[in-house]
Structure 1
């Protein structure tokens, strides 16, 4: 509870020291739709759009398990001109696929369904040394996405959860001041109690428990090709115990590039997993990580509802060279 007696789920999670490891939702395709008006509590689903176009986009996204997010630039002064949309796809090689477009009328969003049905344009991920990528992540005037650099999303969906606005907007402000062309506020991404949440797409990396200062440091490191274990919720192409295994390796051996470690094998035995993680030099070539699952006591996990529930936590209990 706050000093005023109001419940904030992120404050409660920090007081309990809730683990953020292994909490990134699974997925590899994202649809971003710039929407400058008020966001409904349920995001895209609640928009008053042309029914046929809306159904078309929803069906196409569902077919490839894409997540549809509304986005906007931070600040009160809305940009002028057509609104943008994007379809971003993660690929394990780092040569992600992206397609961007603009829309003025609802019917223009039908292009999203077409893009979801196509392969998209292959573009390098922005890791250092990737061909055609600018070496300085702070270069001004480079649009977020079409040039191949990641898009940085900050959940600021206050109508969905108060903490997303209270903690997300200061982070969006700080990141937008540093990288104005890469950063967008977005609707709900999951894990309200870990606000402020930042998702880098199409890299598929979730960060949580951020504030203005830590977010600039974390995103700066990410853009420079170094993912740190601190604040890492997980990689979206991995399942929770695998996310926990990679986080444990990063914690022990230090930051590494998004694709420097690969999950090569997973064996489950009840509430335990043995996960083989292989790495690129100079990191260790192969490691066996044991991960154990446990369930927390019942707690109130979001601001919006009084209901309580438990969460599954994934602990890495050992990291050994294989």
Structure 2
């Protein structure tokens, strides 16, 4: 393992505390099923859109499109070893985990979007299609130092094996689970990733195996729905990101929940569970202690109408 790939020493940071406590990861993926990936090498502000390098009109256009389609913006850059090699124009990507597609393009020389806004509004019309996939590793140190300290070694390890697919990215949520890795357009999120296991984790995912020790869930779903979809997929012998699956969350009184999971051409499953409030702890560096709410599955059974 190189110095770039070496994991950081244990400290009092949020990610070290989460690992000591064994904070559960499942049900913690962020919202948004359509993401726009904006390449920008310069340092990202805690709110990255505040540091967007673009003309005023381009900023306005992006903000309007993000609101129209409820999309999630992510800043991306190549890992350090590759960033110095870049001579091509800055790129953008649109990924959609419901459609399972992605489309890429380049920014205009004047700072315009070069088709990105049109792709964000309608990725299929812009030529989006299934591809090899995009690997996003959060290294957003100005949001939380754990993301940079643990994320950059993971990004370097993945870039050595998957150079074209790997990007560093801005905040993915769940700082305490650093390093965090999103596999798009599957919409699958993993946490607690270390450099020496990152490549195998990606290969296992692409082979249809869920690494349950690291899986955080699927983007765009409520926490209980992420947990239920994972349990139902396991019962059906599928992966949670199988697009034949659909789910519907039904909240119940007193912290209980029900999710109905359906598979094309098969009987629906009823997943029931409850929420557990963890002991208060810092969920991000420098923040006061808070109780994490964890959805727990009680039962998976066929739905009887």
Range of TM-score over shorter length: 0.7 to 0.9
Contact 2:134 2:185 in 1 (8 A): yes
Which segment is superposed worse, 257-266 or 206-215?
257-266
What is the CA distance between 1:60 and its match in structure 2?
1.0
Change (3 A) 1:221 1:257: farther
Q: TM-score, normalized by length of structure 2?
A: 0.85
Identify the residue that residue 280 of structure 2 maps to in structure 1. 298
Corresponding residue SS for 2:160: helix
Q: 1:275 aligns with which of 259, 264, 270?
A: 259
Q: Secondary structure at the match of 2:80?
A: coil
2:15 to 6, 10, 16: 10
Structure 1 counterpart of 2:73:
68
Q: Which runs of 5+ in 1 are unaligned?
A: 126-147
Give 1:20 shift. 1.0
1:218 aligned counterpart, secondary structure: helix
List structure 1 runs of 4+ shifted beyond 4 angstroms: 121-124, 250-255
Tell me, in whole angstroms, the C-alpha distance in 2 between the residues paired with 1:153 and 1:51. 27
SS of the residue corresponding to residue 88 of structure 2 reads: coil
Residue 101 (structure 1) shift = 1.4
Give the deviation of 1:285 after TM superposition.
Answer: 5.6
The number of equivalent residue pairs is 292
Query: Which residue of structure 1 aligns with residue 189 of structure 2?
Result: 206
Map of 1:157 onto structure 2 = 140
Alignment of 1:158-197 (within 5 A): 158-197=141-180
Alpha-carbon separation, structure 1, partners of 2:226 and 2:184: 17
Written as runs of structure 1 = structure 2, the 5 A alignment for 1:139-154 is 148-154=131-137
Tell me the distance in 1 between the aligned counterparts of 2:9 and 2:166: 32
Kindly report the root-mean-square deviation, in angstroms, between the aligned alpha carbons of the 2 structures: 2.6
Deviations 1:174-231, CA, capped at 9 Å, x for gaps: 1111111111011111110011100112221111111113321221122223334331
1:151 Cα shift?
0.7
Q: Name stretches of at least 5 consecutive residues in structure 2 with no aligned partner.
A: 1-7
1:84 maps to: 91
Aligned residue number for residue 3 of structure 2: none
Partner Cα distance (2:168, 2:259) in 1: 35
* Cα distance, 1:288 vs structure 2: 2.6
Compute the displacement of 1:275 (Å): 2.0
8 A Cα contact 1:230 1:251, kept in partner: no
